[in-house]
Structures are given as structure tokens and as C-alpha cells.
Amino acid sequence: MSAVKKTAKFGLYVFSFLVILLVGGAAYLYMNMDSIAKQITEKVASDALGVPVRVGSMAISLQDKKVTVSDLSIANPAGYKKPHAIMIKKIEVAGESFSKELLVFSHIMVDGTNVNLEVSNKGTNLGDIRDNTSSNPSVEKSNKDKSNKASKGENIKVIVKKFSLTGAELNPSVTLLGGDLAKVSVPDIKLYGIGQKENGVLAKDAISQIMNAVLQKFNSSANGAGFLKGMSLDALNNMGVSTAEVFKKNLKDSYKKEVDGLKKNLDGLKGLFE
């Protein structure tokens, strides 16, 4: 066999081997797409929130452009008792259009959220997570440094046209009041047009925007239920609870106390004439 034929035959073997590798790699990626996406989601979310985020399971339907996440948990920051701050039963992500540069989601629906609220003199676990998001300049710089080293998949931009959170409950696991307190249902949350003005934002920045709004709502609900009683006004303001909300809550408590006292006195007077 001539040298030319031997070279051509060897080249054919190499080409065939490369084709097998490419096909095998594509098959592996397709078969393990859910687990790979799960790992990326956990890393991006953990970087955005500054605490470990874990996903129980993830199912992806390319045909329907739909992702379903089950049993997502957000860990507590250091120094708190419970292992998790937030646990979510189900998240559904509906896609609209996908390209290499931009992912557009028509709707993200979150249902069945349970929050373990822990309160200390300095703040709350929710407040600490809120401070960890990219709205904090120091964390934003840290995230920016990380993003420069991140993979291309983590740097892709997204638009979320609508976000909704339903069926959320606040569980006051640790407060300054002591004793048992009942869970409180949080009003549904709806957000629109995340990343639309900028024609897309990094995925971690979209997560930060959503979590900032959600945590502020949780903190406001906690304040309204009296879970944050005993905290300083500065600490409450830093958590996103406005002075007006604190004043409104205090006024409501004062009014209730006066009414209860008046009712008790009237009942006492009534007893004198019976």
C-alpha cells in the first residue's frame, strides 16, 4: 500500500473517531441536560444571593420551552439556627424565545414558598440575604469579578416579562418576642418587565432584582404581623421596611391596646350594675 493511501486511510480513521466523539458528546449532553442545567442554576443563584441554593429536581421540555423546578431551598446565612431560610415547592419557567445572546421568558411562576424567619437584635436572615444581592455595591463588585471568570453559559442575558409568587407563608421560627407565633400568609407578588429596558440583564442580576422585591414584601408582611417587634427603626429601614410602615403598625397596636382596655373597663362597669 502506497504512503498516500496509508495517509488517507489513517485520516479516515481519525475523522471517524472525531465524529463518534462529537455524536457521543451531543448524546451525553442531551441525556444529561437536566442535571447540567441544575448545576448551572445552583451556581448562578448561589452567587447572586450569597448563600448556597440547592435544586431538588429539574425537568426541561425543549418542545414546550418549559422548565419545571421542584424543591428548591435557599440556605440561611451564617449565624442563624435553621438550615434553610426559604423553601419552594415548585417553580415553572415558560420560555418565549432563545438565542445565544438572549433568553426571553414570558412567565416565571413560583408556588408553595415557606419562609423560616429568624430575628435578632441586629437584623433578620431575610435582611442579610437581601444585603447579599447585587444591590449591595461590595457584593456587586464581587459578583462582577466572578462573572469575568465565569463560563459563557453564566454570562448569558435574560428578560423576564412576568414573575408571580403565590401561596407563600412566613414561619416566625425565631423572634425577639419569644413564645409561639402563628404562620402568616403573604399576599401574592407580581413583577413585570425585568431586563426589558436594558434589552437583557445577566441571569444573576435578574435573580437579584426578583429576590430584592420578594424579600422586601416578606419583611413588610413580617412587620405587619408583629414578628419584627423589638428591632430598631434603622434595622427595619435597612431591611426595606419603611418608617411609614413601622409607624402604621405601632399606631394600629396602640389603637388595639386602647380599645381592648376600654372594652375591659366597660365590662367591669357593666358587672357593677348586674
Of 243, 256, 250, 188, whose CA–CA distance to 224 is shortest? 250
Of 130, 97, 53, whose CA–CA distance to 200 is shortest? 97
For residues 229 and 257, give the distance between their C-alpha atoms in angstroms, rounded to a whole number. Answer: 15
Phi, psi for 238 (deg, rounded to 5): -65, -25
For residues 127 and 136, give the distance between their C-alpha atoms in angstroms, rounded to a whole number. Answer: 12
Which stretches of the chain are DSSP H helices?
Answer: 3-31, 33-49, 125-132, 137-149, 203-224, 233-238, 243-272
Residue 198 grid cell: 436594558
Task: Encode burial over 40-56: b for 16+ CB neighbours within 10 A, e otherwise.
Answer: bbbbbbbbbbbbebbbe
For residues 223 and 123, give the distance between their C-alpha atoms in angstroms, rounded to a whole number. Answer: 12
Per-residue model confidence as pLDDT tens digits over 161-190: 999 999 999 988 877 776 667 889 999 999
**Amino acid at the residue 259:** V
* Residue % of the chain over a pLDDT of 90: 28
Q: Using alpha carbons only, what angle is made at residue 74 by residues 153 and 140, rounded to the nearest 5 degrees? A: 55
Question: What pLDDT sits at residue 244?
Answer: 46
Residue 191 grid cell: 413583577
Question: What pLDDT sits at residue 112?
Answer: 94
pLDDT category of residue 8 using cuts at 50, 70 and 90: low
Residue 175 grid cell: 423572634
Cα separations in angstroms, 54 against 44, 77, 93, 107, 185: 11, 14, 17, 22, 24
Better pLDDT: 168 or 204: 168
On whether the CB atoms of residues 135 and 190 are closer than 8 A, the answer is no
Question: What pLDDT sits at residue 11?
Answer: 64
Question: What pLDDT sits at residue 256?
Answer: 41
pLDDT category of residue 70 using cuts at 50, 70 and 90: very high
Question: What pLDDT sits at residue 1?
Answer: 58
Per-residue model confidence as pLDDT tens digits over 117-160: 988 777 889 988 988 874 544 344 444 544 444 444 557 889 99
Question: What pLDDT sits at residue 250?
Answer: 42
For residues 159 and 192, give the distance between their C-alpha atoms in angstroms, rounded to a whole number. Answer: 10
* Signed CA dihedral, 117, 53, 113, 208: sign only: positive
Record the pTM. 0.71
Question: What pLDDT sits at residue 60?
Answer: 85
Beta-ladder partners of 86: 74, 115
Per-residue model confidence as pLDDT tens digits over 20-63: 666 665 565 556 778 888 888 899 899 989 999 999 998 888 88
On whether the CB atoms of residues 212 and 199 are closer than 8 A, the answer is no
Question: What pLDDT sits at residue 196?
Answer: 92
Residue 252 grid cell: 394600629
For residues 47 and 3, give the distance between their C-alpha atoms in angstroms, rounded to a whole number. Answer: 56
On whether the CB atoms of residues 219 and 237 are closer than 8 A, the answer is no
Q: Residue range 54-77: average pLDDT?
A: 91
Which stretches of 32-132 are DSSP H helices?
Answer: 33-49, 125-132
Q: Residue range 109-119: average pLDDT?
A: 92
Cα separations in angstroms, 186 against 174, 217, 231, 247: 18, 8, 21, 20
Question: What pLDDT sits at residue 265?
Answer: 45
Per-residue model confidence as pLDDT tens digits over 226-252: 787 766 656 666 655 654 444 344 434
Maximal C-alpha separation, the chain: 125
